[in-house]
């Protein structure tokens, strides 16, 4: 299964090796992204500073463009055709491109609008997000409910059985963090984000983003897409459009995605794009599986070689 990362996986120079080593594939995809959005994404993703990439309205299209560039390299040089795809939050747009549901240009335009709208929420709402490690998700949800007097605090990400992300108003999220440690959490980590993603504080932008979704073309998937909104397979393009609208304020059910993939017999996972967060989740969830990432030039080259070796072995 191909897994596409979300916000937080960005880093300075994350596409430099791609543009350098694969100019006809990755370089072309990055150039197309520059033209489609009127943003210097190639520069930002090769020589841009961390601070530039950290702005949500830049981060989101930058990660998407980099993931799509990796996907194109794997397709062109190794015939990469995953049996299933999934994306963590923002990564779902890359997954939909991989499955033929969205075209690259539409996905990039949607993500730019998404990032701008989310950044706008961050400028008007004093929000925060924390990851709680070492407590069951049900207990974290109880702590969120207990913090209601201080504002919104909701589960935003069901990442692993013992890692849950909370999002909402800063005072309420801070209260959840304190109470989680009192309840026996191993650790609470504040996320470096500019807005409280995947909670009801995002409801105010749903209408504007819905208008953007209405302007994009959605096709039915050509391969299995496991939605991070539901943890189940998409039925058609109409459902994909609806779920992207729900995704803004709804939790990411990544644990459900991995459980559904495992139940379907998936034993190999490839993280396509920057970072290795999703690879870590898959490794810990299913230690016996084959898990690969494409975070740097060495890993991309090794994966291409192995995919081509597997293909040659199959054709003997």
Phi, psi of 215, rounded to the nearest 5 degrees: -90, 0
In angstroms, the Cα distances linking 221 to 22, 102, 273 are 28, 9, 21
Is the per-residue pLDDT at 314 higher than 60?
A: no
Strand order of the sheet with strand 2-4?
224-226, 84-87, 2-4, 268-271, 290-293
Segment 224-231 shows an average pLDDT of: 97
88 and 205 inside one domain: yes
- Of 194, 224, 253, the one marking the end of a domain is 194
Q: Which of 17, 198, 228, 279 is catalytic?
A: 198
The yes-or-no verdict on residue 315 having pLDDT over 80 is: no
Assess whether 225 and 242 both reside in one domain: yes
Query: In the prediction, which pLDDT does 241 show?
Result: 98
In DSSP notation, 198-242 reads SSGGGGGGHHHHHHHHHTS-----SSEEE-TTTSSB--SHHHHHH
- Is residue 72's pLDDT more than 60? yes
235 and 108 fall within a common domain: yes
For the stretch 175-187, pLDDT in tens is 999 999 999 999 9
- Name the percent of the chain lying above pLDDT 70: 98
How does pLDDT run across 51-69, given as a tens digit for each residue?
999 999 999 999 999 999 9
- Judge if 43 and 162 occupy the same domain: no
Q: Please tell me the distance from the alpha carbon of residue 58 to that of residue 48, in angstroms, as a whole number.
A: 11
- 232 with 291, same domain? yes
At 302, which CATH number? 3.40.366.10
**What mean pLDDT do residues 271-284 have?**
97
How many folded domains does the chain comprise?
2
Q: Catalytic site residue 89?
A: yes
Are residues 208 and 69 part of one domain?
A: yes
At 287 the pLDDT is 93
Which CATH number belongs to the domain containing residue 156 in this structure? 3.30.70.250
pLDDT reported for residue 267: 95
Q: Is residue 165's pLDDT more than 80?
A: yes
Domain final residue, candidates 176, 194, 212: 194
CA distance 251 to 203: 13
179, 194, 209: which is the final residue of a domain? 194
Active-site pick, 9, 89, 227, 279: 89
Q: How confident is the model at residue 195 (pLDDT cuts 50, 70, 90)?
A: very high
Q: Does the structure show a pLDDT above 70 at 311?
A: no
Supply the range of the domain harboring residue 153: 126-194
> What is the DSSP secondary structure assignment for residue 187, as one 8-state letter?
E
Q: Are 116 and 135 within one domain?
A: no
User: Which of 181, 179, 191, 182 lies closest to 6 in space, CA to CA?
Assistant: 191
Average pLDDT over residues 34-39: 96
Are residues 53 and 106 part of one domain? Answer: yes
pLDDT in tens, 146-156: 999 999 999 99
**Domain match, 74 and 35 both:** yes
Check residue 316 and give its pLDDT: 42
Same-domain status, 252 and 304: yes
- CA-based nearest residue to 244, from 209, 220, 271: 209
**What's the mean pLDDT in 127-139?**
97
pLDDT of residue 313: 53
Quick check: pTM over 0.75?
yes
Predicted pLDDT at 312: 59
141 and 206 both lie in a single domain? no
Average pLDDT of the chain is 96
Q: Are residues 79 and 141 in the same domain?
A: no
CA-based end-to-end distance of the chain: 24
């Amino acid at each position: 299964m191909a897994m596409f990362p979300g916000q937080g996986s960005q880093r300075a120079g994350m596409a430099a090796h791609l543009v350098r080593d694969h100019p006809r594939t990755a370089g072309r995809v990055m150039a197309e992204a520059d033209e489609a959005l009127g943003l210097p994404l190639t520069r930002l993703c090769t020589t841009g500073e961390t601070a530039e990439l950290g702005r949500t309205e830049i981060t989101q299209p930058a990660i998407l463009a980099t993931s799509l560039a990796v996907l194109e390299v794997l397709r062109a040089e190794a015939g990469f055709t995953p049996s299933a795809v999934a994306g963590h939050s923002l990564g779902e747009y890359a997954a939909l491109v991989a499955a033929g549901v969205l075209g690259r240009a539409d996905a990039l335009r949607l993500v730019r609008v998404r990032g701008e709208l989310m950044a706008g929420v961050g400028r008007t709402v004093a929000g925060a997000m924390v990851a709680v490690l070492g407590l069951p998700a049900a207990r974290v949800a109880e702590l969120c409910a207990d913090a209601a007097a201080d504002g919104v605090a909701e589960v935003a990400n069901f990442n692993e059985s013992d890692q849950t992300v909370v999002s909402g108003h800063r005072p309420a999220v801070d209260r959840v963090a304190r109470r989680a440690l009192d309840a026996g959490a191993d650790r609470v980590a504040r996320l470096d984000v500019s807005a409280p993603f995947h909670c009801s504080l995002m409801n105010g932008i749903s209408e504007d983003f819905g208008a953007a979704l209405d302007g994009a073309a959605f096709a039915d998937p050509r391969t299995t897409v496991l939605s991070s909104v539901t943890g189940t397979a998409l039925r058609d393009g109409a459902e994909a459009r609806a779920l992207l609208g729900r995704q803004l304020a709804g939790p990411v059910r990544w644990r459900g995605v991995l459980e559904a993939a495992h139940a379907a017999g998936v034993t190999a996972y490839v993280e396509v794009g920057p970072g290795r967060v999703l690879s870590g989740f898959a490794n810990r969830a299913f230690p016996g599986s084959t898990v690969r990432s494409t975070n740097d030039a060495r890993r991309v080259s090794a994966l291409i070689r192995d995919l081509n070796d597997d293909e040659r072995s199959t054709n003997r």
